[in-house]
Amino acid sequence: ALVSMKEMMIKGKKEGYAIGQFNLNNLEFTQAILQAAEEEQSPVILGVSEGAARYMGGFTTVVHMVKGLMHDYKTTVPVAIHLDHGSSFEKCKEAIEAGFTSVMIDASTKPLEENIRITKSVVEYAHERGVSVEAELGVVGGQEDDVIADGVIYADPAECKELVDKTGIDCLAPALGSVHGPYQGEPNLGFEEMEVISKQSDLPLVLHGGTGIPTKDIKRAISLGSAKINVNTESQITGTQAVRDTLNADSEVYDPRKYLTPMRDAIKKTVIGKMREFGSSGKA
Ligand code: G3H
Ligand code: ZN
């Protein structure tokens, strides 16, 4: 069923596992992620960046595609359609009007007072409609579509407390050393801050930049209150590798289904691996 991500995250934080947010790029990504979730009997969050929504046609296209697949696949597990890194109140509103069940408002580049003001307005609009809200503080490194950072800034626990108390968000993404895209060397996650932030607010935390984080760090983050982990790049890498291998092995192939089926299968395998690592398998 299509739901907000509130209940699944509360349950995850309480029971000590995380739900994966897997980003969509097209039909095959959506198929792969929904198939993985059903097979694993795992709740799942479909992440849609503004850039990816633009690529696919728009928010409405995405919602209809997801609903169509859930109908045809007879999906039984909880699924949230979540706007990833929403850039403004307007964009969040647009996504909600199109049928998204969850949004992230990323006003993390703004001064704290403004971040609080914008986030609060999104919460008011979203909660009236049963839609969950994620907000961010600090700077996640690297690049994802329109979200480009040069450097990493760790979120400040006192600012996190203020943002949570003043806005009523459902979950918080404190940037604590994670990076969008591949890491250069090992990530250096701020686990001490994570523990403080998680305890002081009792809200589920979100870990962005899930690609390339070692399993021991994933487990530690979950034990310290991270109940949602975002993965995008890793599905793109494994999916594209499968296309490359298929085309390299046969220069005569021209039917897109011949190379997109291996892509879909590779993404599905990646997603299943993450669901098991995050502990969400069997928790639907
Ligand atoms: O918002 C999406 C993520 O934080 C994905 O990060 O591409 O490094 O896996 P990633
Ligand atoms: Zn992110």
Ligand 1 atom at minimum distance from 211 CA:
9
Q: Which atom of ligand 1 is nearest to the CA of 144?
A: 7
Q: Which two tokens stand for residue 55?
A: 């690529």
Q: Looking at ligand 1, which residue's alpha carbon is closest to its atom 10?
A: 209
Per-residue pLDDT at 67: 98
> Top-level CATH class of 6-278?
alpha beta
Task: Decide: 82 in ligand 1 pocket, CB within 6 A.
Answer: no
Q: Give the start-to-end residue ranges of the domains of the chain.
A: 6-278
> Which residues have a catalytic role annotated?
84
Distance 267 CA to ligand 1 centre (A): 15
Q: Is the CB of 84 under 6 A from ligand 1?
A: yes
DSSP state letter for 139:
B
Ligand number, closest to the Cα atom of 208: 1
Contacts of 95 (CB under 8 A, 6+ apart): 48, 53, 59, 83, 86, 103
Q: What is the pLDDT of residue 21?
A: 99
Say if ligand 1 is within 6 A of residue 50 CB.
no
With a 6 Å cutoff on the Cβ, whether 141 touches ligand 1 is no
Q: Is the dihedral of CA 65, 37, 179, 237 positive or negative?
A: negative
- Measure 183 CA to ligand 2 centroid, in angstroms: 14
Atom 2 (ligand 1) nearest CA? 230
Q: Is the CB of 108 under 6 A from ligand 1?
A: no
Q: What is the pLDDT of residue 150?
A: 83
CB of residue 51 inside a 6 A radius of ligand 1: no
Expressed in angstroms and rounded, the spacing between residue 211 Cα and the centre of ligand 1 is 6
How far apart are the C-alpha atoms of 149 and 10, rounded to whole Å?
30
> Could you identify the residue written with the tokens 């859930």?
70
Phi and psi angles of residue 134, each rounded to the nearest 5 degrees, phi first: -115, 140
Residues 209, 229: Cα–Cα separation, whole Å: 8
Identify the segments of the chain with pLDDT beneath 50: none
pLDDT at 229: 98
State how far the Cα of 27 lies from the Cα of 253, in Å rounded to an integer.
20
Q: Which atom of ligand 1 lies nearest, measured to the CA of 182?
A: 8
pLDDT of residue 147: 87
Cα of 255 from ligand 1 centre, angstroms: 30
209 Cβ below 6 A of ligand 1: yes
Residue 283, pLDDT score: 98
The residues pairing with 207 across neighbouring beta strands, listed in sequence order, are: 229
